[in-house]
Structure 1
Amino acid sequence: MSAPTRESRRILVVDDNSAIHQDFRKILTRSGEGSEELDAMESMLFGGDALPGSSTTRFELDFALGGEEGVRRVRDAVREGRPYALAFVDIRMPPGMDGVETTLHMWREEVDLQVVLCSAYSDYSWDELSRKLGTSERLLILRKPFDSIEVRQMAHALCEKWELLRASHRRMEDLERMVEERTRALAEANARLLHAQKLEALGRMSAGLAHEVNNPLSYILSNLRHVVRGLETLPCPVEGVRARDDLGEACRDAILGAERIARIVQDVRVFARVDEPPRELVDVRQVMELSISMAAEALRPGLRLVRDFHEVPPVWGSEHGLGQVFLNLIINAAHALAGREEPFIRLGLLRREDGRVAVEVQDNGCGIRAEHLGRLFEPFFTTKPVGTGTGLGLSICHGIVTRLGGDIAVDSTPGQGTTFRVLLPMASRPGA
């Protein structure tokens, strides 16, 4: 604690007698007549230096002629961020507040302030002071006429105590902040773990459900297709042709519905896959070009496709998995452009300084409402009309990207467009 003793400690003297102010100035600033005698007395009492650090400690003194002025100075010092460490307060200061009332008001402004009550009279007994001020370790009594060595000793000791108290408060604040941060981090980790456990449980249930649905669905599709083929080749009289065609149309509608169920089952099976995707060196640009080709049917005429591709290193991931991610994002962007007069999609590849490759899919479509952004990657959540989406596409993309050690995020403004950003770790070497 040597550093604080080299600082200037602020002391306030509250007394209605200006001559007392001068006495404190002579004693505590080591200037004026008698200072050498005080140094010699301290040296004799304490041996060598007067007090530990006393030769390097500077006291900054302020003065107040009454209790109201003293309280105001304490309040202003706190607001300026330069609080007083110690106040010498006279008990009798007519006609305003006495020293006891002044002390109470000053403690309301600065709780750590050390106070020495000075009096030549027995205005209050110790029991009376205890009732009014409480039994406080911040309070000492000094009788007038006071001894100069005693005053200086009090100043050194109480300022040092104030410094230690402030340091203790700062340490406690630091500890509380650390506990709060760690508690918050633990809560976030627990929330992520709980979410992962829920997803795992949902994945296992979905996998079992998909398996159970897929088997009878295969029989239904097979039989429906067999019925359609039979109806097409079944000879019948002219009056029965219309009935046969109606039956065939009904079967074909049933096949479309069953095939949609089959696609949903396939999405659920992909979502439920909890094993790690295969890892290999992947040329992101090549995968992006393949995904563009596969999405050709969704890219309507008049749509402007912009390739903003920079040279990027390969990533260590799954070519099939990333292809599925890019294809899904491109098709979603194309669907968001419905009704736009000048639709465009920008596909970007960028090497970032943090050691990752950024893949961006940007559109100028309808955008996504703010209340939906936080739920986009939830399983089965969709903003599409009923019957046009399962709500698993973005959840599957999120799962693939995160299992590859990457991240996926979205920025969107309703009416202006959306940007999906996939961040993938660069591969410095195979297996890195």
Structure 2
Amino acid sequence: MSKEIIGRNHRILVVDDTRAIHEDFRKILAQPSAPGDPLAAAASSIFRTAKPTLARLPSFELESAFQGEEALAVVTRALAGGRPFAVAFVDVRMPPGWDGVETVNKLWSVQPDLQVVLCTAYSDYSWSELGDRLVHSDQLLLLKKPFDPIEVQQMAAALTEKWRLTQQSRLKIVDLEERVRERTAELERAQAELAQSRKMQAVGQLAGGIAHDYNNIVTATIIQLTMLRQHPDVTPAIKAIVADLESMEQRAASLTRQLLTFSRRQVMHVAVIDLNVVIEHLLKMLRRLLDECISVNFQPAPSPMWIEGDVGMIEQVITNLCVNARDAMKPRGGRLTIAVAPHQLEPGNLAARRNLPPGPYVKLTIEDTGCGMDAETLQRIYEPFFTTKDVGQGTGLGLATVYGIVQQHRGWSDVRSQVGQGTTFDVFFPAATAPATAPAAARPPAPAQPSSACILMVEDEEMVRQIVSRALKHKGYRVLQAVDGEAALEVWKQHGAEVDLLFSDMVMPNGVTGLDLAKRFRGERPDLKVLITSGYSVDLAISDPGQHGDFAYLGKPYDIADLLALLEKTIAPGP
């Protein structure tokens, strides 16, 4: 029922077997009251209008029925036409058909909100009897014949207004119930997202912890294999075997890096980049990765879409999603669409409840026409090692890596998919302002003479510490070892003046971190060089260099060549 009908419904049905009664009702109700008449003043007093003397009662729209059966048909027809009656005046005695009480019950069976006035010249029923026989007695008034015109007008005015207010109240209740349903659905979605977020956080902590410990093993193995391959007594056949082992270890290192990325513990080298340009540079490589039966459609934004991010990580997000789309479109192929567009996150939006600030974002959309996913699969797509591919066809870390990178960039992702209808990933990154100036050219490193330097190596993993120390000594470095932060403080007390570079793990037992050591030693020796290493790359936020000065960073696992190159660069004096 429309609000317009509710606001102006003055439709009244008169049900009486005497035609003269119908004429009387028309004379009383079908003409509007004149300004200043007693009835208008009385209505104004009842409804508290501002100017009683100017109030006018409405002209009511009347229809007639002479028997109960006819009244039921008229009410039913009016409801079907969207023009219900607000009030019905019903005579009690209407032979030979239904009496007034039965008629009212029939009318209420099709229109329960109808306001009713029972008209009678006899005491046919007591009020208690009427209450027992009528189902909605709270919508009933009695009018004794012969009736006073003023009383009829007052009843008509009051009951049409009551009907209007009742409808408005019901509309408000319906609206409130709808809001409650929507809010309940939103809360259920938020609870599901929170549960999923907590699960992903727990899995991420587990994955990060495993990767951290495994990195130490991989680091020691890689360095040992490198030293073995470079040994002069190793035969070519053994070198080939060692090279194969090194390749396997690099694959293991790649897996740990993906786990660290998922757990948001991978270092970021942040710059302001245009996502349009990143994708344009990546398209050639992507087309090589995709099958010839897949067409690629790139839809860049019409203007630069600046974000703050790690170019390599953003490229990995795009590549992983495109490769996932490729696999979903095998073997028949299909269409892959990559689009970039601005997006405004409004306050109160569902995504804003993910602790993301409202404001401008950049949306990356990757859409395929592949096989799609069911609801159960969608719930698990970001879990590490979860895959729907055949054994040997995937690690289950592609989308987990996407999840970690997007989270680390303070963004979020949405996915829509149906079986047989393809999949759409929407990835959102906070928008950034365009860079003011081009970055300054890098200063060429000065010649270095690192082989005579003294290094204080702090590493709680015995195997890593011994292997790396032996490799550094083999290259001419002098190495002082410490098993943790407290031991390093003791070594510093005795040899602090001799140390040229602190090479420390970040997280160690006993509560003293590599960063704590660096700050303390720098307080005594501002010229001390610092190189921090960790299996948790995010332990040192290189994306904020002002926080840690000019500390260098080396993520685990690393090989001896990377370590030596970084040591040379770090120890080398400036121009």
Q: What is the TM-score when the length of structure 2 is the normalising length?
A: 0.60
User: 2:277 & 2:43 partners in 1: Cα distance?
Assistant: 84
Query: What corresponds to 2:391 in structure 1?
Result: 386
With over 3 angstroms needed to count, the CA separation of the structure-2 counterparts of 1:272 and 1:84, relative to structure 1, is same
| Displacement of 1:286 | 3.5
Query: What corresponds to 1:192 in structure 2?
Result: 193
With over 3 angstroms needed to count, the CA separation of the structure-2 counterparts of 1:172 and 1:419, relative to structure 1, is closer
| Displacement of 1:42 | 3.4
User: 1:134-145 maps to which residues of 2 (within 5 A)?
Assistant: 136-145=137-146
Query: What corresponds to 1:123 in structure 2?
Result: 124
Query: What corresponds to 2:378 in structure 1?
Result: 374
| 1:316/1:430 contact within 8 Å kept | no
| Displacement of 1:187 | 2.5
Secondary structure of 2:152 counterpart = helix
Query: What corresponds to 1:88 in structure 2?
Result: 89
With over 3 angstroms needed to count, the CA separation of the structure-2 counterparts of 1:347 and 1:74, relative to structure 1, is closer
134-143 or 88-97, which moves further after superposition?
A: 134-143
Query: What corresponds to 1:241 in structure 2?
Result: none
With over 3 angstroms needed to count, the CA separation of the structure-2 counterparts of 1:97 and 1:369, relative to structure 1, is same
177-186 or 399-408, which moves further after superposition?
A: 399-408
Matched letter for residue 158 of structure 1: L
Query: What corresponds to 2:570 in structure 1?
Result: none
User: 2:310 & 2:255 partners in 1: Cα distance?
Assistant: 23
Structure 2 unaligned spans of 5+: 345-359, 437-575
367-376 or 309-318, which moves further after superposition?
A: 367-376
Secondary structure of 1:87 counterpart = strand
With over 3 angstroms needed to count, the CA separation of the structure-2 counterparts of 1:167 and 1:430, relative to structure 1, is farther
Query: What corresponds to 1:102 in structure 2?
Result: 103
| 1:14/1:89 contact within 8 Å kept | yes
Deviations 1:150-192 (A, max 9, x none): 1111111111111122222122222222222222222222222
169-178 or 156-165, which moves further after superposition?
A: 169-178
For 1:270, which of 261, 265, 280 is the aligned residue? 261
| 1:281/1:314 contact within 8 Å kept | no
User: 1:259 & 1:47 partners in 2: Cα distance?
Assistant: 90
| Displacement of 1:407 | 5.0
With over 3 angstroms needed to count, the CA separation of the structure-2 counterparts of 1:75 and 1:402, relative to structure 1, is farther
With over 3 angstroms needed to count, the CA separation of the structure-2 counterparts of 1:179 and 1:363, relative to structure 1, is closer
| 2:9/2:85 contact within 8 Å kept | no
| 1:85/1:113 contact within 8 Å kept | yes
Matched letter for residue 401 of structure 2: I
User: 1:159-178 maps to which residues of 2 (within 5 A)?
Assistant: 159-178=160-179
Secondary structure of 1:317 counterpart = strand
With over 3 angstroms needed to count, the CA separation of the structure-2 counterparts of 1:374 and 1:93, relative to structure 1, is same
User: 1:48 & 1:413 partners in 2: Cα distance?
Assistant: 61
How many aligned positions are there? 411
User: 1:328-347 maps to which residues of 2 (within 5 A)?
Assistant: 328-335=320-327, 339=331
| Displacement of 1:421 | 4.8
Secondary structure of 1:379 counterpart = coil
Query: What corresponds to 1:238 in structure 2?
Result: none
Are 2:432 and 1:427 equivalent residues in the alignment? yes
| 1:116/1:140 contact within 8 Å kept | yes
User: 2:103 & 2:170 partners in 1: Cα distance?
Assistant: 25
With over 3 angstroms needed to count, the CA separation of the structure-2 counterparts of 1:172 and 1:359, relative to structure 1, is closer
Query: What corresponds to 2:315 in structure 1?
Result: 323
With over 3 angstroms needed to count, the CA separation of the structure-2 counterparts of 1:384 and 1:92, relative to structure 1, is same
296-305 or 385-394, which moves further after superposition?
A: 296-305
| Displacement of 1:363 | 6.0
Matched letter for residue 57 of structure 1: P
User: 1:254 & 1:114 partners in 2: Cα distance?
Assistant: 90
Deviations 1:346-365 (A, max 9, x none): 5645445866655455667x
Are 2:56 and 1:59 equivalent residues in the alignment? no
Query: What corresponds to 2:150 in structure 1?
Result: 149
369-378 or 169-178, which moves further after superposition?
A: 369-378
User: 1:9 & 1:307 partners in 2: Cα distance?
Assistant: 61
| Displacement of 1:419 | 5.7
Query: What corresponds to 2:203 in structure 1?
Result: 202
User: 2:67 & 2:400 partners in 1: Cα distance?
Assistant: 72
Secondary structure of 1:384 counterpart = coil
Matched letter for residue 396 of structure 2: G
Matched letter for residue 308 of structure 2: G
With over 3 angstroms needed to count, the CA separation of the structure-2 counterparts of 1:398 and 1:91, relative to structure 1, is same
Deviations 1:125-174 (A, max 9, x none): 22211211157221111111112111111111111111122222122222
User: 1:47 & 1:412 partners in 2: Cα distance?
Assistant: 61
With over 3 angstroms needed to count, the CA separation of the structure-2 counterparts of 1:129 and 1:210, relative to structure 1, is same
With over 3 angstroms needed to count, the CA separation of the structure-2 counterparts of 1:129 and 1:412, relative to structure 1, is closer
| 1:376/1:395 contact within 8 Å kept | no
Query: What corresponds to 1:10 in structure 2?
Result: 11
| Displacement of 1:203 | 1.1
Matched letter for residue 270 of structure 1: T
| 1:86/1:158 contact within 8 Å kept | yes
Query: What corresponds to 1:240 in structure 2?
Result: none
Give RMSD over aligned pairs. Answer: 4.3
| Displacement of 1:284 | 2.1
Matched letter for residue 392 of structure 1: L
Secondary structure of 1:312 counterpart = coil
Query: What corresponds to 1:42 in structure 2?
Result: 39
Matched letter for residue 323 of structure 1: E
Secondary structure of 2:60 counterpart = strand
With over 3 angstroms needed to count, the CA separation of the structure-2 counterparts of 1:395 and 1:297, relative to structure 1, is same
User: 1:284 & 1:48 partners in 2: Cα distance?
Assistant: 68
Deviations 1:335-392 (A, max 9, x none): 556655xx6875645445866655455667x543445762474213322212332222
Matched letter for residue 254 of structure 2: R
User: 1:238-277 maps to which residues of 2 (within 5 A)?
Assistant: 259-273=250-264
| 1:382/1:389 contact within 8 Å kept | yes
Matched letter for residue 77 of structure 2: D
| 1:376/1:394 contact within 8 Å kept | no
205-214 or 258-267, which moves further after superposition?
A: 258-267
Matched letter for residue 283 of structure 1: D
| 2:301/2:342 contact within 8 Å kept | no
User: 2:257 & 2:280 partners in 1: Cα distance?
Assistant: 24
Matched letter for residue 122 of structure 1: S
Matched letter for residue 95 of structure 2: P
User: 1:281-320 maps to which residues of 2 (within 5 A)?
Assistant: 281-292=272-283, 298=289, 309=300, 311-320=302-311
Query: What corresponds to 1:400 in structure 2?
Result: 405
